[in-house]
């Protein structure tokens, strides 16, 4: 079992979750975070910290967000992109992980300021089209 970051985090990155994780298993992309499922110890501390309800336990993940389980594994380096089941993924995300420029995301262990877009984006639905597969620039 592991926890997973889903759509609501996109363009927000409040990073409250990072501060409470005892094993620092969050990784940072350009406009969202992901959890490494091999490193997560299922403590559930992060789930209630997320102000936009982006984090779920894998067994509680809504059906339309289940593809984020595989996505979190790939961008955090827990799964090889070539071995990923990309069923349900947006086309631009599949192209990005199978392309030559794909790079695993860096670890993030400390809270930082949310993105400038956070307040507006926290009310948006259908943000998967905006999901960036690029690592955070840091
Ligand atoms: S707390 Fe912030 S960074 Fe963590 S998942 Fe929620 S929105 Fe994303
Ligand atoms: S469930 Fe615990 S170990 Fe897993 S990501 Fe959340 S805070 Fe970290």
Over residues 60-89, the pLDDT tens digits come to: 999 999 999 999 999 999 999 999 999 999
Tell me the domain boundaries of the chain.
3-103
Q: What is the secondary structure of 57-96 as a DSSP string? A: EGGG--GGGTHHHHHHHHHTTSS-GGG---TT--HHHHHH
Of 1, 23, 57, 107, the residue with max ligand 2 atoms within 8 A of its CB, to mutate for a pocket test, comes to 23
Question: Atom 8 of ligand 1 has which residue's CA nearest to it?
Answer: 9
Give the Cα separation of 29 and 9 in Å (integer): 11
Which residues neighbour 15 within 8 Å (Cβ) at sequence distance 6 or greater?
Answer: 33, 108, 111, 112, 114
What local confidence, expressed as pLDDT, does residue 137 receive?
86
What local confidence, expressed as pLDDT, does residue 138 receive?
60
Q: CA neighbours within 13 Å on the CB side: how many for 112?
A: 15
For the chain, list residues with pLDDT below 50. Answer: none
Residue 34 tokens, joined: 């992901």
Mean pLDDT of the chain: 96
CATH number 3.40.50.300 given to 3-103: no
């Amino acid at each position: 079992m592991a926890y997973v970051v889903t759509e609501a985090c996109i363009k927000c990155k409040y990073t409250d979750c990072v501060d409470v994780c005892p094993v620092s298993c969050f990784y940072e992309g350009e406009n969202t975070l992901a959890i490494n499922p091999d490193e997560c110890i299922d403590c559930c501390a992060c789930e209630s910290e997320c102000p936009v309800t982006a984090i779920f336990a894998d067994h509680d993940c809504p059906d339309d967000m289940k593809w984020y389980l595989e996505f979190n594994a790939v961008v955090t380096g827990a799964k090889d992109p070539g071995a990923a089941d990309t069923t349900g993924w947006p086309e631009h995300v599949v192209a990005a992980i199978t392309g030559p420029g794909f790079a695993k995301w860096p670890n993030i262990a400390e809270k930082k300021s949310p993105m400038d877009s956070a307040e507006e984006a926290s009310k948006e639905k259908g943000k998967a089209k905006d999901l960036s597969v690029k690592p955070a620039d840091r």
